[in-house]
Amino acid sequence: MEGFLRFLAAKAILLALASSFVSCYDPSPLQDFCVAVDDANGVFVNGKFCKDPKYVKAEDFFTSGLNIAGNTINRVGSNVTNVNVDKIPGLNTLGVSLVRIDFAPGGQNPPHTHPRATEILVVVEGTLLVGFVTSNQDNNRLFSKVLYPGDVFVFPIGMIHFQVNVGRTNAIAFAGLGSQNPGTITIADAIFGSKPLIMPEILAKAFQLDVNVVRYLEARFSSNY
What is residue 188's predicted lDDT score, i.e. its pLDDT? 97
- Residue 139 φ then ψ, to 5°: 65, 25
Binding residues are: 109, 112, 114, 119, 161
Using one digit for the tens of pLDDT, what is the confidence trace for 113-131?
A: 999 999 999 999 999 999 9
Please, what is the average pLDDT of the chain? 87
Binding residues for oxalate are: 109, 114, 119
pLDDT band, residue 138 (cuts 50/70/90): very high
Binding residues for Mn(2+) are: 112, 114, 119, 161
Residues whose CB is less than 8 angstroms from the CB of residue 22 and which lie 6 or more positions away in sequence, other chains included: none
Task: Measure the CA–CA gap between 202 and 187, rounded to whole angstroms.
Answer: 16
Q: What is the pTM of this model?
A: 0.82
Using one digit for the tens of pLDDT, what is the confidence trace for 141-174?
A: 999 999 999 999 999 999 999 999 999 999 999 9
